[in-house]
Structure 1
Amino acid sequence: MGNRLANEKSPYLLQHANNPVNWYPWSEEAFEEAKERNCPIFLSVGYSTCHWCHVMERESFEDEEVAAILNHNFVSIKVDREERPDIDHIYMSVCLAMTGQGGWPLTILMTPDKKPFYAGTYFPKHEKWDRVGLVEILIQVSEKWRQDPGLLLGMAEKVSSSVFAEKRYSQDGELNEETLLKAFSLAGELFDKEYGGFGTAPKFPTPHNLAFLLRYWRREGGREALDMVTHTLERMYRGGIYDHIGYGFSRYSTDKKWLAPHFEKMLYDNALLALAYIEGYQATGRKLYARVAKEIFTYVLRDMTSPEGGFYSAEDADSEGEEGKFYVWTPAEIKDVLGEQDGAAYCRLFDITAKGNFAGRNIPNLIDAPSFNDDGELTLAAEETAGYIESLRNKLFDAREKRAHPHKDDKTLTSWNGLMIAALARGAAVFGEDLYRRAAVKAVEFIMQKLRRTDGRLLARYRDGEAAYPAYLDDYAFLVWGLWELYEADFTASHLENALALTGQMIDLFWDAENGGFYFSGKDTEQLISRPKEVYDGALPSGNSVALLNLLRLARLTADGELMDIAEKQIKAFSGSIGQYPWGYTHFLMGVDFMLGPTREIVIAGKAGAADTGAMLNAARQAFLPNATLLFHPPGETGRQIEKVIPFLKEQRQINEKATAYICENYACRAPVTDLQQFADMLQQEPVYLSRNVHH
């Protein structure tokens, strides 16, 4: 017999629809029921591809004994953190404050008026591994609620008043080049010189850390920042965190070598990592990085794209109830597919042994494989060509496709789609690959058609024909990022128009006019127990950090002083907090780097499709110019459309019918050039850095 989750669209909630626990979705009905019964609420937050969520479901939520305790003593609520990140943010902050750690599944016990008094993550059914058992917790709490509810209500008031008091970000201090240096120095202290990445296991890719270091290298010169990036990019690719048979990255590595991943694959990681590898390629010209980015896109377009054009959210770590089963191999399985000789060659190269490197089986990896050559291929014996290795991979991929696949979370999230649109757009621009551009355009069209209300308000989630939940800050910020990247890929004026319109909506819905910064949820949404602002850049960059860089780039592109004013206020709002530990805010620091300047505005005036125009655009796109904006001004009606968005383009036209480049830097414009080599030389000239503080 099902419960109330059977009517939901979330894959995670539907996974629990047949539990004996009488689950409610987050709803007024649930809270009214708790008030009527005068009982506490058991809140469980997770997501459909979460390994420990599955474990807790098998051990406890499918168990009749646990269900009886919950149904008799609590009102139980299930929340998909990817659909309701607002709820997740609020109660995860409680867990971090009460226990010092967080993660999923998130377990909260709270009063009927949503005030928490107990928090944790995964609990086994009964005590084991020094972890208290769920049954013991539930029995103790239900007895205490009956005997002395005032004690728990008092705890809830105390927790709420301390955790939910609006966080005051320090505004003391300047964010300047010294802040960037401090972040770089912290990176150096945390850097793993042997295997790349930062800190110890578990290791997360955190691509914005690499993006920041590339910008720091571009600003300061020297090799150290660049070497941290290149070493990390190569070591991550070599590891088992990368799927060498089907492509794409898993969420994190459980060890320092990047060997054994937590096997779930998230759309956002693959979007941000594709961007990191593309920027690595732009900065160094190393073909390996271009190949990895293209392989990520192959994976996403093959396995993570809906027929309608949106991108799916994630793939599970588990299949057939076992973590990683889909991805691991024995030597015998390899040889069954490839034959003895080819199988032995593959096993030797990809570390497939009888002993195994993961619970007696093997994760294919290149950790100890030979070096890569200039073409981005492994340096192997003459007969082991790249084509030969690829033929083996293809056979193994076809064989693996016949296995039971991990669950795919097929909902479309506006925020994560924005990131993949940004990555594909950059790939289209840098690699000249129209397939990527078309996929990005189709995803934008899907969001604009399916994930907007009739009044234009963005929505957060689409699945099975239904769009729901007013979009959060991340949805607006990440989608705007995708739109301006897509403008620089195909120069369609509507992308910029949409980016500017959504930015205006974002300011109206989320901006804190009193203290600066953006709230996570809009002023028009359900009023939860608190309304937080997030600026920390964790596994994902924060909405505030992405919004800052968007505001700065759009202000430069359009010469809009109001957008620049908001960006300056945003930097001021968080300056003291970021200055204390800048390495925790590396995406935000990319905005600071942009604000410090110099920035370049590059305009190419020329005929669309003409050879000289294409050559100039390609020169600008191939170079690593993170603080440059690129505009295209063609003649005719298309040119007039972009002039409506960016009026100053009217003056920047072709000279003598030739493609003409205009470069402005530090608010001064150079003489226009029509010679391709002269333009390329100008792009490579070191920018003139004007040291100054940001925020006064």
Structure 2
Amino acid sequence: MTNRLADATSPYLLQHADNPVDWWPWTEEAFDEARRRNVPVLLSVGYAACHWCHVMAHESFEDAEIASFLNTNFVPVKVDREERPDVDAVYMEVTQAMTGHGGWPMTVFLTPDARPFHAGTYYPPAPRPGMPSFRQLIEAVSATWAAQPGEILESASAVVEEISRHASPLPPSTVDANVLAGAVVSLLGEFDRRNGGFGGAPKFPPSMALEFLVRHHERTGSVEAVSMATATADAMANGGLYDQLGGGFARYSVDASWVVPHFEKMLYDNALLLRFYTHLTRVTGSARYERVARDTASFLLRDLRTAEGGFAASLDADTAGVEGLTYVWSFEELGSAAAAFGVTAEPNFEDGKSTLRFVSEPGEEVRAALLAKRALRPQPGRDDKVIASWNGMAIAALAEAGAFFGEQSWISAASEAASLLASVHLVEGRLLRTSRDGVAGPSFGVLEDYGCLADGLLALHQVTGSIRWLDLACGLLDTALARFAVPDSPGAYYDTADDAEALVRRPADSTDNASPSGASSLASALLTASLLCGADRSSRYFTAASEAVTRAGLLAARAPRFAGHWLTVAEALVAGPLQVAVVGADDMRRASLWAAAVAHVPGGSVVVAGEPASVPLLEDRPLVDEGPAAYVCRGYVCDRPVVSVDALVTSLTANTP
């Protein structure tokens, strides 16, 4: 028998559709049922690629006795955190406040009006030191609800009051060149000089902090900034975190030296890292970084692209219930290739197997043969829902990388993904967050969807010259400014729209975590759009971007590891974003000028080519001697137009540190 999740569009919810637990999706009807029966709600939050979510599901939610107890004494509600990031954010804040840590699966007990009174993460099937079994937990919660309902309701009210007390926006604080230099110093203090990256195990790819360091180096020439970026790029790409055969990065490393990954592969990580390695290639000219960027793009197109042209959310950490089964190798299986991949008779993983690292180049034939052999193994499951914000990141990365490396097929893939988002996710100017098999899901877009998708569309506009993408991006930004802004707090934004479902608290988290926060992604897109759109919007967008960065100033100054995307936007503001307009017919000279601009502009710049007046940036830019010309502007000051590649490169590099 299936439960109420059978009709869901979320693969994670569908994974639980055959559980004996009588799951409800997150709906008002579920809470009506809890009120009718006067029982608490068990909220279980996870996602399809989550290893420990699978473990808890198998141990507890597939157990008939546990399911029977849950069905009798609770209304069980299952939520895909990727589909409902607003629900996840509110109750993760509660979980972290109550337990001092968070993670998935997340297990929260709610009153029938959705107020939390007990929270945790994974619970085992048998008690462990300091941790009850899941059966013990649900029995204790049920007994307490029956015996002391008044105390639980009072406690739940206190929890909601406490989290609401800390919901005010940060006060404005300037982010200038001194703050940016101080952020580099702070990052240097947390930098792992032996292994690269920041902090200890588990170690996550610090994509946005690395992007900031590259931009800071471009503006100032800082050796410290680029050294941290390249050392971390080397360590990640040479370790087990990176798929040495198929390209692409795993979610994180369980050790400090990047050797053993947690094998799930997320779209947002790989989109952010593709963008970073592309930009690092531009700065360093490294063939190794180019190879990593190219192989990561190939991974996106080969393994995550959906039939409709979008990009799937993730690949599972597990294969056939075994973590990493697809990816690890024994010394004997590798034979003469073992040394190139750093594999010895002493395994570094489980069951006599090892992850692969880059020690020396094994050769294309060897890599291809091993990849073909791996393809015959069972493969990890794929969560093939399309998420608006994550696809926005992929669109931006493929558009920029395609332009820089001269790969038109990557730009075409980005355009197809954008077309899918425009036709399926965008309804009467409002975004829906997810789709699957070309069918939109039920959840409305949150701020990060508007910011990241607008950012991707703006990148696509620059590399294609199509006004369609600019118009769509500006429409998204107008909606975001109107629907998500915190009243009377310029630069502050909620993560949900003013007409979204009311939760116990309206979430507003400006911290950059695994991916850009909604507010920082919006600020980035606003700044870029201010350089590309017409005069009717330019000043308004620039002011909004500046106010947003100022509102995040204290975060950027005090916790730069968690403000990486904010810092990249601030770098562009301090530098005065550079604009290159290449006007003229589509001929070899225009193509050469455009390619030279793409190859030499620093991060945060905009480059557009096309016929004069075809898009706003090209207006009032006449041809020179009836042929193509390039106009270079910094802030509101423009150089004389140039017609040769050498002159353009000289203009672009004149102020390079």
- Normalised to the residue count of structure 1, the TM-score between the two structures is 0.91
Establish whether residue 650 from structure 1 lines up as the match of residue 619 from structure 2: yes
Deviation at 1:485, TM superposition (A): 1.0
Establish whether residue 351 from structure 1 lines up as the match of residue 342 from structure 2: yes
**Counterpart pick for 1:573 among 551, 569, 579:** 551
| Cα distance in structure 2, aligned partners of 1:170 and 1:505 | 23
The equivalent of 1:271 in structure 2 is: 271
The equivalent of 1:293 in structure 2 is: 293
Establish whether residue 456 from structure 1 lines up as the match of residue 440 from structure 2: no
The equivalent of 1:238 in structure 2 is: 238
The equivalent of 2:486 in structure 1 is: 512
Deviation at 1:465, TM superposition (A): 4.2
1:286–1:687 distance in 2 versus 1, CA, 3 Å: closer
| Cα distance in structure 1, aligned partners of 2:588 and 2:388 | 36
1:305–1:172 distance in 2 versus 1, CA, 3 Å: closer
Establish whether residue 621 from structure 1 lines up as the match of residue 590 from structure 2: no
Deviation at 1:348, TM superposition (A): 1.5
| Cα distance in structure 2, aligned partners of 1:684 and 1:130 | 60
Q: Which amino acid aligns with 1:311?
A: F
1:581–1:333 distance in 2 versus 1, CA, 3 Å: closer
Deviation at 1:594, TM superposition (A): 1.7
Deviation at 1:129, TM superposition (A): 5.0
**Counterpart pick for 1:501 among 475, 482, 485:** 475
What's the CA shift string for 1:111-130, capped at 9, x where partnerless? Answer: 00000011111110221254
Q: Which amino acid aligns with 1:534?
A: D
The equivalent of 2:398 in structure 1 is: 424
The equivalent of 1:601 in structure 2 is: 579
The equivalent of 1:153 in structure 2 is: 153
The equivalent of 1:524 in structure 2 is: 499
| Cα distance in structure 2, aligned partners of 1:655 and 1:362 | 64
Deviation at 1:351, TM superposition (A): 2.4
Number of aligned residues: 652
Establish whether residue 564 from structure 1 lines up as the match of residue 542 from structure 2: yes
- Normalised to the residue count of structure 2, the TM-score between the two structures is 0.96
Q: Which amino acid aligns with 1:597?
A: A
Unaligned 5+ residue runs, structure 1?
335-342, 371-377, 379-383, 689-696
User: SS at the partner of 2:433?
Assistant: strand
| Cα distance in structure 1, aligned partners of 2:220 and 2:188 | 15
What's the CA shift string for 1:21-54, capped at 9, x where partnerless? Answer: 1111111111011001111110000001100000
Alignment of 1:466-545 (within 5 A): 466-468=439-441, 469-516=443-490, 517-545=492-520
Greater Cα shift, 670-679 or 97-106: 670-679
| Cα distance in structure 2, aligned partners of 1:140 and 1:673 | 76
Deviation at 1:569, TM superposition (A): 2.6
Deviation at 1:632, TM superposition (A): 2.0
The equivalent of 1:338 in structure 2 is: none
| Cα distance in structure 2, aligned partners of 1:491 and 1:396 | 41
The equivalent of 2:655 in structure 1 is: 686
**Counterpart pick for 2:357 among 355, 362, 366:** 366
Greater Cα shift, 52-61 or 185-194: 185-194
User: SS at the partner of 1:561?
Assistant: helix
Deviation at 1:271, TM superposition (A): 0.4
Deviation at 1:556, TM superposition (A): 2.2
| Cα distance in structure 2, aligned partners of 1:70 and 1:364 | 40
How big is the alpha-carbon RMSD for the aligned residues of Structure 1 and Structure 2?
1.6
| Cα distance in structure 1, aligned partners of 2:56 and 2:180 | 42
The answer on whether the counterparts of 1:598 and 1:627 sit within 8 Å (CA) in structure 2 is no
The answer on whether the counterparts of 1:182 and 1:582 sit within 8 Å (CA) in structure 2 is no
Deviation at 1:291, TM superposition (A): 1.1
Establish whether residue 109 from structure 1 lines up as the match of residue 84 from structure 2: no
Q: Which amino acid aligns with 2:344?
A: T
The answer on whether the counterparts of 1:21 and 1:62 sit within 8 Å (CA) in structure 2 is yes
Q: Which amino acid aligns with 1:54?
A: H
| Cα distance in structure 2, aligned partners of 1:499 and 1:464 | 24
| Cα distance in structure 1, aligned partners of 2:597 and 2:603 | 11
Greater Cα shift, 416-425 or 356-365: 356-365
| Cα distance in structure 2, aligned partners of 1:585 and 1:595 | 15
| Cα distance in structure 2, aligned partners of 1:550 and 1:20 | 45
Q: Which amino acid aligns with 1:549?
A: S
Deviation at 1:423, TM superposition (A): 0.5
| Cα distance in structure 2, aligned partners of 1:9 and 1:550 | 29
Q: Which amino acid aligns with 1:626?
A: G
Q: Which amino acid aligns with 2:403?
A: A
Deviation at 1:640, TM superposition (A): 4.0
| Cα distance in structure 1, aligned partners of 2:561 and 2:297 | 29
Establish whether residue 612 from structure 1 lines up as the match of residue 589 from structure 2: yes
The answer on whether the counterparts of 1:263 and 1:317 sit within 8 Å (CA) in structure 2 is yes
What's the CA shift string for 1:607-654, capped at 9, x where partnerless? Answer: 21x1111111111111241132212242xxxx4431xx45xx332121
**Counterpart pick for 1:401 among 353, 368, 375:** 375
Identity of aligned residues (%): 38
Establish whether residue 586 from structure 1 lines up as the match of residue 564 from structure 2: yes
The equivalent of 1:142 in structure 2 is: 142
The equivalent of 1:675 in structure 2 is: 644
User: SS at the partner of 1:78?
Assistant: strand
Deviation at 1:674, TM superposition (A): 1.6
User: SS at the partner of 2:175?
Assistant: coil
Unaligned 5+ residue runs, structure 2?
none
Deviation at 1:584, TM superposition (A): 1.9
Q: Which amino acid aligns with 2:499?
A: D
| Cα distance in structure 2, aligned partners of 1:31 and 1:583 | 39
User: SS at the partner of 1:655?
Assistant: coil
Greater Cα shift, 123-132 or 489-498: 123-132
User: SS at the partner of 1:25?
Assistant: coil
User: SS at the partner of 1:86?
Assistant: helix
**Counterpart pick for 1:441 among 415, 427, 430:** 415
| Cα distance in structure 2, aligned partners of 1:285 and 1:156 | 56
| Cα distance in structure 1, aligned partners of 2:430 and 2:313 | 22
Deviation at 1:10, TM superposition (A): 1.0
The answer on whether the counterparts of 1:283 and 1:624 sit within 8 Å (CA) in structure 2 is no
Alignment of 1:12-91 (within 5 A): 12-91=12-91
| Cα distance in structure 1, aligned partners of 2:647 and 2:556 | 41
Q: Which amino acid aligns with 2:468?
A: S
What's the CA shift string for 1:159-217, capped at 9, x where partnerless? Answer: 01001346113315322122212211111011111221111010100211100001111
| Cα distance in structure 2, aligned partners of 1:552 and 1:271 | 20
User: SS at the partner of 1:153?
Assistant: helix
Greater Cα shift, 588-597 or 273-282: 588-597
| Cα distance in structure 2, aligned partners of 1:687 and 1:464 | 47
| Cα distance in structure 2, aligned partners of 1:321 and 1:155 | 39
User: SS at the partner of 1:470?
Assistant: coil
The equivalent of 1:664 in structure 2 is: 633
What's the CA shift string for 1:328-383, capped at 9, x where partnerless? Answer: 1113333xxxxxxxx32x0121123333110133334335x25xxxxxxx4xxxxx
Establish whether residue 552 from structure 1 lines up as the match of residue 527 from structure 2: yes
| Cα distance in structure 2, aligned partners of 1:583 and 1:244 | 27
Q: Which amino acid aligns with 1:452?
A: L
What's the CA shift string for 1:651-680, capped at 9, x where partnerless? Answer: 212111232121122422222222321211
| Cα distance in structure 2, aligned partners of 1:237 and 1:206 | 13
| Cα distance in structure 2, aligned partners of 1:170 and 1:543 | 15
| Cα distance in structure 1, aligned partners of 2:571 and 2:332 | 53
Deviation at 1:580, TM superposition (A): 3.1
Deviation at 1:521, TM superposition (A): 1.0
The answer on whether the counterparts of 2:183 and 2:557 sit within 8 Å (CA) in structure 1 is no
1:536–1:395 distance in 2 versus 1, CA, 3 Å: same
Deviation at 1:255, TM superposition (A): 0.5
Deviation at 1:459, TM superposition (A): 0.8
| Cα distance in structure 2, aligned partners of 1:538 and 1:356 | 32
1:399–1:640 distance in 2 versus 1, CA, 3 Å: same
| Cα distance in structure 2, aligned partners of 1:524 and 1:87 | 15
The answer on whether the counterparts of 1:206 and 1:540 sit within 8 Å (CA) in structure 2 is no
Q: Which amino acid aligns with 1:535?
A: S
